[in-house]
A and B are shown apart, each in its own frame.
Chain A
Amino acid sequence: MQMLSLKASGGQDQTPKAQVESSSSIPMVVLKVFFPSCCSSAESGLLVGHWIPEQNSAVILAVVHFPFIPVQVKQYLSEVRQVTQVNVSVLGTWSNCKKKEESLSEFLEDLGTIFSHEPWIQLCKETDSKFWSCSIIQKHPSTPKEDEIILVYYDQRKVMLSHLHPPGNLTNSTDHKAEDASKLAILFDTVAKSKVLFMKDRYDDGPIKLTHWQSEGVEASIIVELMKQASIPVCMLLTFLLSFVSSVCKSRVLKFWPLSFIWSKLSTCEQLGHRLEHLQVISSNRKAQNQPQLMRKANIFVSLLADVALGILLMSWLYRKNRIGHLADTLIPAADHVAKELQDLLQWLMGVPAGLKMNRALDQVLGRFFLYHIHLWISYIHLMSPFIEMILWYVGLSACLGLTVALSILSDIIALLTFHIYCFYVYGARLYCLKIYGLSSLWRLFRGKKWNVLRQRVDSCSYDLDQLFIGTLLFTILLFLLPTTALYYLVFTLLRLLVVVVQGLIHLLVDLIDSLPLYSILLRLCRSYRLAAGVKFRVLEQKTGKPLRLLMQINPLSYGSVVQTYRLPTYSCYPKDSWGSLCKKLFLGELIYPWKHKGEKQD
């Protein structure tokens, strides 16, 4: 793509058809005044806010009303400055009167000498007019031209509560943060930090009367306060219980080899451990330092609640009308049915499967070997059948810990019931793998080459005659036995892959429930101004001669970005093998472990 860049040059090159009024020279300096919309109907007074010289913009935070004593105002503002670390000062005057009065305007100008600020902003509004007039007084004007003024109205409460999410990866850059911080971030920051200023409402008996978004009365909610008070003892109780539980889990008794192996293989234990970590995060006494941490805690809490609620719903459905009993009754016949199908499959393989001719002896050996295994398996299942209902009943109770736990238990039950398929897969794969390696090594011998282990490459080698003879014989035997083994391997791999796919789907569902940030999504739905992707401006009615009026609204984050930003981390990592390497492993007969968990050693 070629880039053709045409730079605008102040209206010199006029296109023939365009008939536009000659754009008046844009003033070099544009002064922006951010005015809170709650102060539009305030009475006359002083404008208090933060002046940002680099961006030539003034953020008005509140209006101080008459009567006041200038010394007290200055003292109050210096206190606010100390507490909030925001450079709050008197920026100008605000007059809201029916008609323009000469005496008032003179008085307001005189105030400029008491609270000296460069530049001094004078906003004037007539009661029945929409359009305001604004004038700037500069003692030492830097430019001879007159400044253009833009008035931007903003909703103070929403801007204070909202959290700005800068686009892309700006959150990661810490070097140029100070210089390149976007103007909007500074605006949001200023308003958010000035919370102390908004604590004074008009019912306070102080020397200073302010107007801001909370001046009608400080907002508070009884439920929130009660919950805050109640949360401290609850957190302490929870921490105590959790420390007890985790000490039990970490005890030496459970670390012996067979038990630790079982715990690591069962996905229920992983899920329980994960939830335990979550509970520890919630019940910690430290307050959340910044917004991402707070959102994370809230997400974990809401997600846990939803999980437990769904689990209890599932439990109530299962225990009604004795469904557990029905489930237990159908479990044994289902296992029998699976075993019978496997037996039929093996009989088919031992015959003439798909018209292929097998080596009868090897076929019979393998087939009988696997049939005996199935027979053993069925005997064990029948041995356990009286206890199944009781076991299922008690295991079903654990669904009250959450739907994810119930799904993990289901996945584990499937793994246990199809353990024989897993065993067959391992036998078939090992046999096939040995055969393939033997074949490749003997093929090299056939061609007169050898694998050099030291150099990790293929070298030529001179064999004796008897070595060549035995090698060729073995090669032929292995080659002709290959179809039989390959067919068994193929059949059992497909069965194993089927089970893996079913387990994988269940794990996906568990992951989804684990990582979905429910609280953030609900927040985006109900209070969309709290999560801001940016702002949007709307041009209000204009009048020539009056400053430009814009309305600034918050542009909420899209649902996709909300989920991406606030996703909770999970413990499973998805297979990093590409399809190509997976196929290669299958071809060579290496065992595949598609669903590896984080923290396990990689092969």
Chain B
Amino acid sequence: MEERGDRTALQCRQYSASCREFSVRCQPVQLRSLSAATCSVWLAAYWLFVLTQNSMVLSTAIFITLIGLIVYLHFVKIDQESLLVIASLGIQMTSSYASGKENTTFIEMSRVKDVVINEAICMQKVIYYLCILLRDPLDPQSVSEVVPLFQVTSHQDAKSEGYPLKGHQLTYLLMFGTNK
């Protein structure tokens, strides 16, 4: 089951009656922006080389480009964020980066108090994001932590025009994803 927004795609899979997975896929790395960044770095390096006639500048530029690319792919660029809901076990959030690294967090069902949609005012827009309220172990009535879901993809989509669709997607997720 897929829903396509402007640049993000929501996919829902139901494995069994008590297990569901929702994944949101981001825009992949564009060749355009990559080549633009590389060209600008190398042009600057070449200009410096013409000024100083020191070939170390060029090797430094190559080094910086490579390191920067690796750091970007491994730590910054998120490819896909997914949410796995397993009844009576818990909720698992996974973010997978462009280099293949996966960051997983699992929250047990006993710690989850509720799942809500929060509104945030960001400059002149209002964005909606889904978050989980965690129970405080010492005081069962109060909320100890608020964990936002789909952090990166929510933020990305807020910049595009497709955010009313995102609100609908959130509602859809909330309706069909939180049966305990």
Residues in chain A within 8 A of chain B (CB atoms): 1-11, 13-15, 17-21, 23-24, 26-27, 30, 32, 55-56, 148, 150, 152, 168, 170, 173, 175-176, 180, 182-184, 534-537, 539, 542, 548, 550, 555
Chain B proximity of A271: nearest CB distance (Å): 37
Residues of chain A with a CB closer than 8 A to B87's CB: 26, 30, 148
Chain A proximity of B136: nearest CB distance (Å): 10
Residues of chain B with a CB closer than 8 A to A11's CB: 175-176
Q: Indicate whether A32 sits within 8 Å of B15 (C-beta atoms), given known contacts A3-B118, A170-B137, A555-B106.
A: no
Q: Are A27 and B17 in contact (CB under 8 A)?
A: yes
Q: Are B137 and A1 in contact (CB under 8 A)?
A: no
Chain A proximity of B174: nearest CB distance (Å): 5
Residues of chain B with a CB closer than 8 A to A30's CB: 18, 87-88
The interface bits of chain B over 164-180 (1 if a CB of A lies within 8 angstroms of the residue's CB, else 0) are: 00001001101111111
Q: Indicate whether A17 sits within 8 Å of B119 (C-beta atoms), given known contacts A8-B177, A26-B87, A548-B18.
A: no
Chain A proximity of B119: nearest CB distance (Å): 5
Q: Is B86 an interface residue (CB 8 A)?
A: yes
Q: Are B138 and A15 in contact (CB under 8 A)?
A: no
Chain A proximity of B71: nearest CB distance (Å): 16
Complex partner residue of A182 from B18, B108, B128, B174, CB under 8 angstroms: B108
Residue of B at shortest CB range from A180? B137
Chain A proximity of B73: nearest CB distance (Å): 19
Bound-complex Cα distance A182 to B18 (A): 20
Q: Are A5 and B117 in contact (CB under 8 A)?
A: yes
Residues of chain B with a CB closer than 8 A to A17's CB: 3, 168
Bound-complex Cα distance A24 to B179 (A): 11
The interface bits of chain B over 66-104 (1 if a CB of A lies within 8 angstroms of the residue's CB, else 0) are: 000000000000000000101111001010000000001
Residue of A at shortest CB range from B12? A20
Q: Are A176 and B176 in contact (CB under 8 A)?
A: no
Residues of chain A with a CB closer than 8 A to B178's CB: 7-8
Q: Chain B: how many interface residues by the 8 Å CB criterion?
A: 45
Residue of A at shortest CB range from B1? A20
Residues of chain B with a CB closer than 8 A to A13's CB: 175
Residues of chain A with a CB closer than 8 A to B179's CB: 8, 10, 23, 26
Can you identify 9 A-B contacts, CB atoms within 8 angstroms? Answer: A14-B175, A15-B175, A18-B172, A26-B179, A27-B17, A32-B89, A148-B87, A537-B84, A537-B92
Residues of chain B with a CB closer than 8 A to A23's CB: 14, 17, 176, 179
Residue of A at shortest CB range from B106? A534
Residues of chain B with a CB closer than 8 A to A184's CB: 108
Chain B proximity of A258: nearest CB distance (Å): 54
Interface residues of B in 143-180 (CB under 8 A from A): 144-145, 168, 171-172, 174-180
Interface residues of B in 124-138 (CB under 8 A from A): 128, 137-138
Q: Is B30 an interface residue (CB 8 A)?
A: no
Bound-complex Cα distance A7 to B177 (A): 10
Q: Which of B108, B137, B172 has the most CB of A within 10 A?
A: B137
Bound-complex Cα distance A552 to B64 (A): 39
Bound-complex Cα distance A183 to B145 (A): 19
Residues of chain B with a CB closer than 8 A to A9's CB: 175
Q: Is B116 an interface residue (CB 8 A)?
A: yes
Bound-complex Cα distance A21 to B177 (A): 13
Q: Indicate whether A173 sits within 8 Å of B137 (C-beta atoms), given known contacts A4-B118, A23-B176.
A: yes
Q: Are B3 and A536 in contact (CB under 8 A)?
A: no
Interface residues of B in 15-74 (CB under 8 A from A): 15-19, 21
Q: Indicate whether A182 sits within 8 Å of B172 (C-beta atoms), given known contacts A24-B17, A30-B18.
A: no
Complex partner residue of B106 from A2, A10, A27, A537, CB under 8 angstroms: A537
Q: Are A536 and B104 in contact (CB under 8 A)?
A: yes
Q: Are B175 and A8 in contact (CB under 8 A)?
A: yes
Complex partner residue of A168 from B92, B118, B144, CB under 8 angstroms: B144
Residues of chain A with a CB closer than 8 A to B104's CB: 536, 555
Q: Indicate whether A8 sits within 8 Å of B174 (C-beta atoms), given known contacts A24-B17, A537-B84.
A: yes
Complex partner residue of A550 from B14, B86, B176, CB under 8 angstroms: B86
Bound-complex Cα distance A173 to B137 (A): 8
Q: Are B120 and A536 in contact (CB under 8 A)?
A: no
Q: Which of B12, B17, B171 has the most CB of A within 10 A?
A: B17
Bound-complex Cα distance A152 to B92 (A): 15
The 6 closest A-B pairs by CB, nearest first: A536-B104, A5-B116, A30-B88, A548-B16, A8-B178, A534-B106
Residues of chain B with a CB closer than 8 A to A24's CB: 17
Bound-complex Cα distance A433 to B172 (A): 71
Q: Indicate whether A6 sits within 8 Å of B120 (C-beta atoms), given known contacts A32-B88, A182-B110, A539-B84.
A: no
Residues of chain B with a CB closer than 8 A to A180's CB: 110, 137
Residues of chain B with a CB closer than 8 A to A15's CB: 168, 171-172, 175
Complex partner residue of B15 from A7, A55, A175, A548, CB under 8 angstroms: A548
Bound-complex Cα distance A17 to B164 (A): 13
Bound-complex Cα distance A182 to B172 (A): 30
Q: Is B105 an interface residue (CB 8 A)?
A: yes
Residue of B at shortest CB range from A536? B104
Residues of chain A with a CB closer than 8 A to B175's CB: 6, 8-9, 11, 13-15
